[in-house]
Amino acid sequence: MFVSFWPKILLLACGMLVATTVQAEIPKETRDALKLDRSATPRQLYDALVKRYKDPAQGAGRGSHAKYWEPIPFSKYLDPESFYKPPSTVKEVASREQCVKCHADESPVWVNAWKKSAHANLDRIRRLTPNDATFYKKTKLEEVESNLRSLGKLGASEQLKEVGCIDCHVDVNAKKRADHRTDLRMPTADVCATCHLQEFAERESERDTLTWPKDQWPKGRPSHALDYQANVETTTWAGMQQREIAEGCTMCHQNQTKCDGCHTRHEFSVVEARKPQACAMCHSGIDHNNWENYQLSKHGTNVATRGDSWNWNVPLAEAFSKGGQTAPTCQTCHMEYQGRYSHNMVRKVRWANYPRNAGIAENIKSEWSGKRLEAWVKTCTNCHSETLSRSYLELMDKGTFQALALYQEANKVVQKLYDEKLLPGQITNRPAPPPPDVEGLGQFYSFFLAKGNNPALVEFVELNMGENQLPKTHVALAHVNPGNWSYSDGYEQLNFMYTQIMDEDVKIREMVALKERVARLETTKRTSLLDTDSSTTLASLGGLGGAMLAAGGVAVVGWRRRDKATR
Amino acid sequence: MFVSFWPKILLLACGMLVATTVQAEIPKETRDALKLDRSATPRQLYDALVKRYKDPAQGAGRGSHAKYWEPIPFSKYLDPESFYKPPSTVKEVASREQCVKCHADESPVWVNAWKKSAHANLDRIRRLTPNDATFYKKTKLEEVESNLRSLGKLGASEQLKEVGCIDCHVDVNAKKRADHRTDLRMPTADVCATCHLQEFAERESERDTLTWPKDQWPKGRPSHALDYQANVETTTWAGMQQREIAEGCTMCHQNQTKCDGCHTRHEFSVVEARKPQACAMCHSGIDHNNWENYQLSKHGTNVATRGDSWNWNVPLAEAFSKGGQTAPTCQTCHMEYQGRYSHNMVRKVRWANYPRNAGIAENIKSEWSGKRLEAWVKTCTNCHSETLSRSYLELMDKGTFQALALYQEANKVVQKLYDEKLLPGQITNRPAPPPPDVEGLGQFYSFFLAKGNNPALVEFVELNMGENQLPKTHVALAHVNPGNWSYSDGYEQLNFMYTQIMDEDVKIREMVALKERVARLETTKRTSLLDTDSSTTLASLGGLGGAMLAAGGVAVVGWRRRDKATR
Amino acid sequence: MFVSFWPKILLLACGMLVATTVQAEIPKETRDALKLDRSATPRQLYDALVKRYKDPAQGAGRGSHAKYWEPIPFSKYLDPESFYKPPSTVKEVASREQCVKCHADESPVWVNAWKKSAHANLDRIRRLTPNDATFYKKTKLEEVESNLRSLGKLGASEQLKEVGCIDCHVDVNAKKRADHRTDLRMPTADVCATCHLQEFAERESERDTLTWPKDQWPKGRPSHALDYQANVETTTWAGMQQREIAEGCTMCHQNQTKCDGCHTRHEFSVVEARKPQACAMCHSGIDHNNWENYQLSKHGTNVATRGDSWNWNVPLAEAFSKGGQTAPTCQTCHMEYQGRYSHNMVRKVRWANYPRNAGIAENIKSEWSGKRLEAWVKTCTNCHSETLSRSYLELMDKGTFQALALYQEANKVVQKLYDEKLLPGQITNRPAPPPPDVEGLGQFYSFFLAKGNNPALVEFVELNMGENQLPKTHVALAHVNPGNWSYSDGYEQLNFMYTQIMDEDVKIREMVALKERVARLETTKRTSLLDTDSSTTLASLGGLGGAMLAAGGVAVVGWRRRDKATR
């Protein structure tokens, strides 16, 4: 709760002073993890970050399921460190100028886009004056040059002239000609970090600031910093033979390896990166429809209707005050923490999108989550009163719990069917999934590796409910899209899926009961009439009728025994 | 049909003259309802409107199901009149200037947005000249001051200096300091009406101009003016225990209580309110996907591609002529009636979105509906010939009837299953819904309060067909999105749901028939073999097998009687 | 693969020279088809094109199913050549100036939009200088006048003054007054071609450049040039009694008949036609969600975030170089072929959206398809390296094959159920579709003409899988929207549908097996007990229980015979 009048003002003023002086700092958690103090040089910071970044034991590369899958040709663009090889067929050895000249014909939009970029116009940045809304870029350029000097890439009195093809794709500030066949590289995040060390450090700090109290998720996840690791460690992804389908996952799970997921090459426009659509390709869809919910929320429609009158060139910290923004973007909420903006987007994570995951709901009222809730309150009070903010965040949490409860009720029904081996085809035609996945109810593989009767329909519905529809309900609550948590999507759809499950449950059990009655009749018939075709009947029971046998947990052997007893 | 050449021109010219002089009028229906004549002062109009607006007997407040539900903390922002209490923890007593100063830190975007608003720049409006596209705002300001004088809120020669925090949140033109704990209010529509009386009167006139010939809907509904009433009078909404989920409904059904559903605080940009996205958050989704259909119609794509070259600051009446608009927005069609634009959006309502509702389809060819159709023809002829307009509106009506026919066929099949008590689990596990809802087939509660086998899957599908898919089909027709009424959505989806229902019908009846055959066999067995386990059989019949018993309308007692008779 | 350094540059330079000189050419295939050489005059080209265009034997008009359907009043706007009649009620006889003057009142937006158009501002175009980005329009105007002179519509030294209402709706460069009742026309594509001959010829060349090696599709289809033919030749469309629903199909399938599908009347803005939303109304939805996929791809989001800084007035060929575009639109990829841009959009068609269609997948590795793949590589290298382009296109093809394989597996299961007559209600309640459709499994009519148990649910799912979901998966791959081919849509949804089918298969067969067991019991009962109610049993078998009888391919007659034999 807010304290009295003037002290609060003073507090805020102090906060702003502090914010300015530590602007270029990285979280203490990361300094501790890297064993660096505040006096570390750029080189020391860079070396420590990159060592960890490239360490397979800490999330780099193909991961623990590497033996199950092979890269496809396109993979080299998604994990260049693991798979990129320069093209053997392009024989040109080119200077800085020749790169540009030739590619103006070979791939003209690369060059056009670059010519519009800050990279190609460093002099324009040097000429900025403090009155300019983008004056901060001049400071940024000086910081970049300072980094390069610390790394020995720029002379003490040398100015960076430009950032051209050769700087990113061969070596920063390269003076020599480069051979396509041996020198070319696809820039990984550490290459960008040569200049943009602060941003890289911020992104990498996601590994350190998201530590779950009961290991609900692995350390530092979910995050951009380890999203490629999350991908390759997914058993279903690794086990899929359909590598081109699977590469669809990787195309979003690639922020760990590169920076151009948000900063589209080769203009690298900050305006683009600050607009909400920058996040839309990946943060949309069936299980995390953040974009869809945001876009049609009042937040999103205000941006859609008024955004063309705002100045998107100002830094995020000035978006509201100087840019004229009157509504939040993805960036102004998720890159903010305690009033500062950085490339660490996970410091306020609480539900992590998946309310059904073990330990997540239980954790919401913990101190860990409470501190993060307070950080959200601070974010919301940019535009709302504290009372409104708290009451809305409470609505969000409670609504999520209500949706979770419905899911859990449905989950139990399907679990019981599975335990009793009553799912259609469960006994007769449920092939094991390809390794490293293992058989189980409602596993993630059900979405991608359906085979025979694995999964059953009701099981798919349950998984869809928990893995997709429940997250979507929460995401709608989190992004203030009321129709999508109550009616158009969210709770109504959860009710639909619940209905499917309850309906199926009663039908499956009715069928089992009827089969039992028929079996009982058949037994009697055989007993009384010395029926000659009992072997046929038993064969058919072993086939399609088999599921019935397991209904009461009675195996075929047991059933025969009872059969005999009746006789 | 259009009459001869010159007379028509004259008629139109006269129409325009009339339109100008009665610009500031409200519909006769409302004057009659309020017992006011044209000479009523602003104060008289204000008092009459507000008296009705705040009357619980006429739609204000918690409604007739109030005993079933409690507000949540967030509710105070959706129905401030019923639930808002000033914060007891904020102790500041602040002057007009102090409000702004302190909130520039507390919730800076409030202040930033306000500073851009007309409210903070009344002098800029006073300086407008007739050449300015927004000169109408000067007239509007004079009207506002005239209202305030009539209400005794502004001195006879006093000018309104600004509209700041304190004016809306405490008292218009307040001169004193205000105490957060006692004086603060959340502005309800009547607060806005203090200045914007004309707009409020227009909105409130929705209560009077939408009177259904056979009470298809309650008087004045559906409308913005009574959308909160529509919400709280919905039995399912009132009966839900999941209040946070239910509040999702309220977040759109709140135009009755407040004005910021369309006019986002605190810039209150008319540009925003005139763009189609202003309507999108609420008018989208599963049962009224107006936004989705409009957005991808040629109307919507013309706005998307050309809208950035138009002047959105001109009033709606000049959007085409002076604003350069070449395609309609939500506003230019739905706020228009007989060539005039107002905040009454229901004067051309005919289908009211729900073609299956009792009496709606039957009413389409009535005189009542015919007059409204003529008003639509006039709207369309802004941009289209009369012949095209009429032929398209005919297409819309007939297409809706065709979709309705398919729904009705499916509805009968499900109704029969329900009447014969054949829905899965209908006899054994169909709990009553929480009050005030009562048991019934395909009731609205099925969407939100699924429990056990209430509803059955086939019943949910039928409800979805009638309550969501049929409206969506009509909405696509109404918004000229051909794919969404024919193939991508609409009729194809209705065919899918029809197929689900027909398929389920045959399966349910096959199962019933088979159970009957088994029961007959069991009877015979018992008769002939003096079966010893007949009690077991009866028990199982009483459980899952029970539905079968009702197949022919025969209850358990009756069945036993026949059983005996057979013996 | 690219060749050595300098020769490539020279090659490109030459290519560009050639491109300039043959800019106004049409494909050789079309000249050959029309038996015209390069020296043909505009009149000769026009006459040859229009003769074919209006020939019912070559795709004009109502087509071969004309006897099955009647137009509705709105149809005259979709196929004016077949159905438009001037309005008999509008008696005005008006001059060029009177058209404009009167319609400024009658349908003001027509006139407003036209006043902003190039058509109303030819003088503005004449004044353009070579420095202007739209200088190409001056050349275009000269070409238009040259066409008109060749057609005898413009005097040798006469300049076109304007293109007003009368030019398109009565006669180009008309000097006389026109009678609404006799002279009015709705402009078909050949009317536009009077001036815009090159564009018409390009569009018409789609008939000639899309010739499938094994007649996978009819010649020249799918294309804009023959999309109305595709519509009226569709048996389901022709057989539907719901003409207003069916007209929804026609509203997109009308690019053959008119030009305003992309060029919205009456501004005919090239900016609109160049923006991706111009394609969105039709190229969206359940089976070809091109728009949805593009919009949220990085291509689409770059346009959404940066497009407001580009010059959309430059011609497509200069969009990247002079317009500042940094990402592709629909137009820059699909209107391009070998570096040139035209209204022929089918020269790179390979999968034609429907991977399951006969002969499509088999053709992907053919020489025919290979040449088109090479053309795509050239398109992609505008912005990407050749290696990346090839590896991505390979990913697209392989991913499509993987999705196809899953569909084919599911298809076999449903086909087997159909062949064995096991679909629910297949024997008892499967009415024939209305002609010209004929009974079959998973026919297109299932989507629109569901009746009784035709189709079965599992059949609808299979059709949805092959006709909608599989195309959507391919479209996502083709438009680089990874979530939509892997998780949010695409493969996950295909797995869902596969699961539905497999689940249904096991349930249907379990029911059949159980019915067989019951029938066997009934037989025994009758044999042993001289059952008196066997007639009742047989009646029930003839009804709902009938499907069981066909399970093993045994007809009722056969069953009775066996029955007797058992006795």
Contact call for B108 and A382, based on CB within 8 A: yes
As given in the structure block, the two tokens for residue C343 are 């209204």
pLDDT for the residue numbered A24 = 54
Residue in chain B closest to C308 (alpha carbons) equals B308
Mutation to test the B interface, candidates A296, A379, A406, A407, most B Cβ within 10 Å: A296
* Cα–Cα separations (whole angstroms), residue B63 to A115, B57, B246, B436: 64, 8, 16, 13
> Subunits with at least 3 CB pairs below 8 A relative to chain A?
B, C
d(CA C135, CA C122) in angstroms, rounded, equals 13
Choose among C339, C341, C197, C225: nearest CA to C274: C341
Q: In the block, which residue shows the tokens 């999350």?
A: A230
B239 contacts on A by Cβ (under 8 Å): none
Range 136-165 of B in CB contact (< 8 A) with C = none
pLDDT tens by residue, A341-375:
999 999 999 999 999 999 999 999 999 999 999 99
> Cβ(C231)–Cβ(C60) under 8 Å?
no
As given in the structure block, the two tokens for residue C481 are 């929207």
**Helix, coil or strand: residue A454:** strand
Range in A118-132, B41-55, B79-93, C14-28 the model is least confident about? C14-28
Q: What is the mean pLDDT of chain C?
A: 91
**Helix, coil or strand: residue A93:** strand
d(CA C176, CA C97) in angstroms, rounded, equals 11
Angle of helix A136-150 relative to helix A42-53, nearest 10 degrees?
80
For C305, which of A76, A252, A278 is closest by C-beta distance?
A278
Q: Percent helix, strand, coil in chain C (nearest 5)? A: 55, 0, 40
The set of residues, in sequence order, having a beta carbon less than 8 Å from that of B164 and lying 6+ positions away, is B96, B99, B100, B114, B119, B120
Give the mean model confidence (pLDDT) for residues A6-30: 54
**Single-letter code of the amino acid located at A125:** I
**Which residues in A443-528 belong to E strands, given as ranges?**
none
Give the mean model confidence (pLDDT) for residues B160-182: 96
**Buried (b) or exposed (e) across A356-386, using 16+ Cβ within 10 A?**
bbeebbebbeeeebeebbebbbbbbbbbbbb
Give the mean model confidence (pLDDT) for residues B240-254: 98
Does C287 participate in catalysis according to the annotation? yes
d(CA C470, CA C481) in angstroms, rounded, equals 15
Residue C29: Cβ within 10 Å count:
17
Range 500-539 of A in CB contact (< 8 A) with B = 500, 502-504, 506-507, 509-511, 513-514, 516-518, 520-521, 524, 528
Residue in chain B closest to A511 (alpha carbons) equals B511
The set of residues, in sequence order, having a beta carbon less than 8 Å from that of B187 and lying 6+ positions away, is B80, B168, B169, B258, B259
As given in the structure block, the two tokens for residue B549 are 């018993």
pLDDT tens by residue, C138-150:
999 999 999 999 9
Q: C457 in contact with A at a CB cutoff of 8 Å?
A: no
pLDDT for the residue numbered B528 = 64
A450 contacts on C by Cβ (under 8 Å): 406, 495-496, 498-499, 502
Contact call for B248 and A387, based on CB within 8 A: no
d(CA B376, CA C487) in angstroms, rounded, equals 43
Query: What is the percent of chain C with per-residue pLDDT over 90, rounded to a whole number?
Result: 87
pLDDT for the residue numbered B24 = 54
Q: What is the DSSP letter of C73?
A: G
pLDDT for the residue numbered B525 = 74
CA angle C204, C206, C208 (to 5 degrees): 95
Q: In the block, which residue shows the tokens 């300086």?
A: B127
**pTM reported for the whole predicted model:** 0.91
B387 contacts on C by Cβ (under 8 Å): 87
Range in A16-30, A99-113, B269-283, C61-75 the model is least confident about? A16-30
DSSP A45-89: HHHHHHHHHT-GGGT-TT-TTGGG----GGGGGTSHHHH----TT
**Helix, coil or strand: residue C33:** helix
Give the mean model confidence (pLDDT) for residues C186-198: 98
pLDDT for the residue numbered A528 = 63
Query: Is the pLDDT score of B58 beyond 90?
Result: yes
**Single-letter code of the amino acid located at B490:** G
d(CA B93, CA B85) in angstroms, rounded, equals 16
**Single-letter code of the amino acid located at A37:** D
Distance from CA of B505 to the nearest CA of C (A): 9
Query: Is the pLDDT score of C340 beyond 70?
Result: yes
d(CA B420, CA A314) in angstroms, rounded, equals 68
Residue in chain C closest to A76 (alpha carbons) equals C388
Residue in chain C closest to A248 (alpha carbons) equals C482
pLDDT for the residue numbered C538 = 41
pLDDT for the residue numbered C524 = 82
For A424, which of C326, C476, C507 is closest by C-beta distance?
C507
Q: In the block, which residue shows the tokens 């109502």?
A: C62
> Cβ(C521)–Cβ(A521) under 8 Å?
yes
> Cβ(C147)–Cβ(C139) under 8 Å?
no
Contact call for A453 and C513, based on CB within 8 A: no
Mutation to test the C interface, candidates B289, B297, B492, most C Cβ within 10 Å: B492
As given in the structure block, the two tokens for residue B84 are 């808002």
* Per-residue pLDDT band at C546 (split at 50, 70, 90): very low
Q: What is the mean pLDDT of chain A?
A: 91
Residue in chain C closest to A111 (alpha carbons) equals C383
Angle of helix C386-419 relative to helix C457-464, nearest 10 degrees?
160
Q: What is the mean pLDDT of chain B?
A: 91
Choose among A442, A431, A449: nearest CA to A465: A442
pLDDT tens by residue, C204-251:
999 999 999 999 999 999 999 999 999 999 999 999 999 999 999 999
**Which residues in B298-441 belong to E strands, given as ranges?**
336-337, 340-341
As given in the structure block, the two tokens for residue C93 are 């006889």
C74 contacts on B by Cβ (under 8 Å): 388, 391-392, 394-395
Q: Is the dihedral of CA A62, A64, A66, A72 positive or negative?
A: negative
d(CA A547, CA A512) in angstroms, rounded, equals 8
Residues of A with active-site annotation: 253, 287-288, 354, 487
Query: Is the pLDDT score of B197 beyond 50?
Result: yes
**Single-letter code of the amino acid located at A338:** Q
The set of residues, in sequence order, having a beta carbon less than 8 Å from that of B481 and lying 6+ positions away, is B292, B293, B294, B296, B297, C281
* Per-residue pLDDT band at C563 (split at 50, 70, 90): very low
Contact call for C518 and B518, based on CB within 8 A: yes
Contact call for C244 and B325, based on CB within 8 A: no
Query: Is the pLDDT score of C22 beyond 50?
Result: no
pLDDT tens by residue, A173-216:
999 999 999 999 999 999 999 999 999 999 999 999 999 999 99
Does C354 participate in catalysis according to the annotation? yes
> Subunits with at least 3 CB pairs below 8 A relative to chain B?
A, C
**Helix, coil or strand: residue A463:** helix
DSSP C289-321: -HHHHHHTSHHHHHHHHHGGGS-TTS-GGGTTT
Q: What is the CA radius of gyration of chain A?
A: 29
pLDDT for the residue numbered C449 = 98
Give the mean model confidence (pLDDT) for residues B409-418: 98
DSSP C365-379: TSHHHHHHHHHHHHH
**Helix, coil or strand: residue A337:** strand
Range 462-481 of B in CB contact (< 8 A) with A = 464
d(CA B207, CA B221) in angstroms, rounded, equals 7
pLDDT for the residue numbered C557 = 33
Q: Is B384 left (phi over 0), alpha (psi -120 to 50) or beta?
A: beta
C304 contacts on B by Cβ (under 8 Å): none
For C281, which of B296, B321, B528 is closest by C-beta distance?
B296
Does C487 participate in catalysis according to the annotation? yes
Q: Report the half-sphere exposure of B339 (CA within 13 A, side-chain side).
A: 17
Distance from CA of B447 to the nearest CA of C (A): 22
**Buried (b) or exposed (e) across C272-289, using 16+ Cβ within 10 A?**
bbbbbbbbbbbbbbbbbb
**Strand bridging mode C340-341 / A340-341:** unpaired
Give the mean model confidence (pLDDT) for residues B350-372: 97
Distance from CA of A388 to the nearest CA of C (A): 31
Query: What is the percent of chain B with per-residue pLDDT over 70, rounded to a whole number?
Result: 89
Range 373-392 of C in CB contact (< 8 A) with A = 381-385, 387-388, 390-392
Q: Is the dihedral of CA A148, A153, A155, A161 positive or negative?
A: negative
